[in-house]
Amino acid sequence: MLEGTPLKITFELAAVTTVLLFFVSIPLAFWLSSSRSKVKPIIETLVSMPLVLPPTVLGFYFLLAFSPSNSFGQWLDEWLGIQLIFSFPGLVIASMVYSLPFMVHPIQSGLASLPTSIKEASYLMGKSRYTTLYKILLPNIKSSLLTGIVLSFAHTVGEFGVVLMIGGNIPGETRVASIAIYDQVEALNYGAANFYSMVLFAITFSILLLVYLVNGGYLKKFWR
Amino acid sequence: MNKVKGVISGIEVSGSLSLVSVHCGRIVLKSIIIDTPDTLDYLVQGADVELLFKETEVVIAKPGPLDISLQNRIPATVFSIAKGELLSSLVLKSELGKLESIISTAAVMQLKLEPGTAVQAMVKLNEMMLSPC
Amino acid sequence: MITAELKKKLWSAQGGMELDLQFELGTGESLTLYGDSGAGKTSTLRMLAGLLPPDSGRIVVHGETWYDADKNIDLPPQKRDIGFVFQDYALFPNLTARQNLAFGLRRGEAEDFLEELIEISGLGELQHKKPGQLSGGQQQRVALARALIRKPKLLLLDEPMSALDHQMRNQLQDFLLDAQNRYRFTVILVSHDLGEVIKLSDRVAVLESGLICKEGSPAEVFMQHKISGKFQFSGRILHIQQEEVVWIITLLIATNVVKVVVSENESRELQVGDQVVVASKAFNPILNKV
């Protein structure tokens, strides 16, 4: 049985995660690139943790935290009516945490690569941190932003462990393509597994290729 | 650069030029400058000044009356001579202290200058610079 | 009137250094901070601009306290009325020359002054180019004009002309003098170039490892004596050579190489690279019409 829903959920999840992550990561990356606070190394470490931690560890703790038997999960359920466990919103939050370094790191290093004097010049022209960030700094690190967006998107498309732990495997709700592939292989449906795999392969390849073309300046002549 | 200390004893002003007389002990040296007491704060009677002039601008003559335009004349004796092929450097002793003069080696020979020779050192008044001290 | 007392412990490759400065500057005056690199000149500008917090001290500009350690006052850079020209120009690469200037306009502010600045800085034809398309000198002009767009009370320049050739420097120095005449702002400049210091500043403060070791007019600071000679230039020694009993000193004055003969005694005090004042009487040089 071949169906498109897992692919649809995969890309929906990747899109929502990427958009939300973009807006969360910009202030975070700005703070990390300019702060001299003592807690900065701790925050940096936490942001990078998903890179090295097995996704199942993250998934496990999310499972505990979001579970309605837990006081936090209970509070969410009672006061906001949100069930994060085995649901799409829960998947989104877990994916955001999981893909955080892929968005934050490129933006942070992009901001750090700009001369500090640009930021200072803007401050001295009476502009707030907010205006400086949006009018001056971000427009000058477009390629870093693109890298962050695409890496986060591609990484979310490819996640497995977290999704399996927190989302379960509910068809049409939380069953994403990577899990569907696993299911189909277990059921010895190699044709269906191959279909999902090919689509994921082709799409992530195209996306990454596009990034390298754009950031490498190969497409510039088409823009002018 | 030769430096001689003195006291301003006379200032004649004409337009923007001043002819400044400076008493250095018993000797009076004169300097012409493009400044007046209005443009140069230390240009007043009685002010302590230094006269600066280049070694190469010091003319050497044997003692005695000369029909020559140079009015700044300082009696001195030759203290030492360093001879080059073309130029020689003379250190002179005078009542104004040590002075240096650079003249041609040919002139040293012609005047038969050697340590102990009495001479007069002469400097044109437009070669004298003033400096406060 | 600007009063500044600044104390700050600075760390550099050579170790720690205590910066301890006090100076006053009248409205419309120009002060140059002069000294070796690492003497604390740039740090001083940054403290005035609010980009580097002093350890203690006070900054009062036209009666307004910008910084007072005792009273816990520390205005952010945004609230200090400052134009700053950075050593690297710090132009915004994503904006055109005109947009770089316009970025400093207050909300709803008319563009008359912007037009005027573009006019007097000669940026008319370049205004729609981005910094990347401009030469060093052109970028410098944009940076200078941009620093003036908010009509600052105080203009700070951090070795602004160091990367430019001589002719370009001259043009910009003239532009700066002209702008200062028009808008009457106070200038604090960091410079290594003696000619620039003499041309642009009313007063010079020489910094040596964090302290002002000499202060006064450029003439007082750089000329040991106020020599009456009218034929005076500042230059740098390129070469020293002995010829018989005299020494021939080759000097760079502006773009000209000249030679001066000195005695052995004087030559002992001179080294290649020294900045010197060349003085002669106005009676000596001859002029040849070309």
**Quick one: angle between helices A177-186 and A190-215, nearest 10?**
150
Longest dimension (CA), chain B: 47
Give C264's contacts (C-beta < 8 A, 6+ positions apart).
B89, C245, C246, C247
Query: Best of C103, C109, C151 to disrupt the A interface by mutation (most A CBs within 10 Å)?
Result: C103
CA–CA distance, C104 with C121 (Å, rounded to integer): 16
CATH class of B2-132: mainly beta
Phi then psi dihedrals of residue B118, to 5 deg: -85, 135
Which DSSP letter does residue B107 get? H
Q: Please indicate whether, in this complex, the C-beta atoms of A120 and C49 are within 8 angstroms of each other.
A: yes
**Quick one: angle between helices C136-148 and C112-120, nearest 10?**
150
How far A142 CA lies from chain C's nearest CA (Å)?
Answer: 10
A135 touches chain C (CB under 8 A): yes
C94 touches chain A (CB under 8 A): yes
pLDDT of A1 > 60? The answer is no
Q: Three-state SS for B60?
A: strand
**C53: number of Cβ within 10 Å:** 11
Q: How many residues does chain C have?
A: 290
**B58: number of Cβ within 10 Å:** 23
Is the pTM higher than 0.80? Answer: no
Nearest to C90 among A118, A128, A139 (CB): A118
Question: What is the arithmetic mean of pLDDT over C50-65?
Answer: 92
**Cβ–Cβ < 8 Å for B22, B33:** no
pLDDT of C214 > 70? The answer is yes
User: Amino acid identity of C181?
Assistant: N
| C110-158: pLDDT as tens digits | 888 999 889 888 888 999 999 999 988 889 889 999 999 998 989 999 9
Q: Three-state SS for B98?
A: strand
| A152-181: pLDDT as tens digits | 998 998 888 888 888 877 787 888 888 888
Most confident of B101-105, C224-228, C279-283: B101-105
Sign of CA dihedral C169, C236, C230, C287: negative
Tell me which chains share at least 3 CB pairs under 8 Å with chain C. A, B
Query: Among B26, B9, B33, which Cα is nearest to B131's?
Result: B33
CA–CA distance, C104 with C145 (Å, rounded to integer): 11
Sign of CA dihedral B35, B37, B40, B45: positive
List chain B domain ranges.
2-132
Q: Please indicate whether, in this complex, the C-beta atoms of B126 and C264 are within 8 angstroms of each other.
A: no
Q: How many residues does chain B have?
A: 133
Q: Tell me the domains of chain C and their CATH numbers.
A: 2-222 (3.40.50.300), 231-280 (2.40.50.100)
What residues of chain B lie within 8 A of the CB of C261, using their CB? 56
| B42-65: pLDDT as tens digits | 889 999 999 999 999 999 999 888
Burial of A80 from C-beta contacts in 10 A (0-12 / 13-18 / 19+): exposed
List beta partners, residue C25.
C2
Chains C and A touch (3+ CB pairs under 8 A): yes
CATH number of A5-53+84-223: 1.10.3720.10
Cα C270 to Cα B33, B37, C20, C164, distances in angstroms = 27, 33, 31, 27
Classify each residue of A106-120 as buried b or exposed e, where b means 16 or more C-beta atoms within 10 Å of its C-beta.
Answer: bbbbbbeebeebbbb
| A35-82: pLDDT as tens digits | 888 999 999 999 999 989 888 888 888 888 888 777 777 787 777 777
pLDDT of A15 > 80? The answer is yes
Cα A189 to Cα A177, A181, A192, distances in angstroms = 14, 9, 6
C92 touches chain A (CB under 8 A): yes
Classify each residue of B78-95 as buried b or exposed e, where b means 16 or more C-beta atoms within 10 Å of its C-beta.
Answer: beebeeeeebbbbbbebe
The answer for C285, left when phi > 0, alpha when psi is -120 to 50, beta otherwise, is beta
| B79-124: pLDDT as tens digits | 999 999 999 999 999 999 999 999 999 999 999 999 999 999 999 9
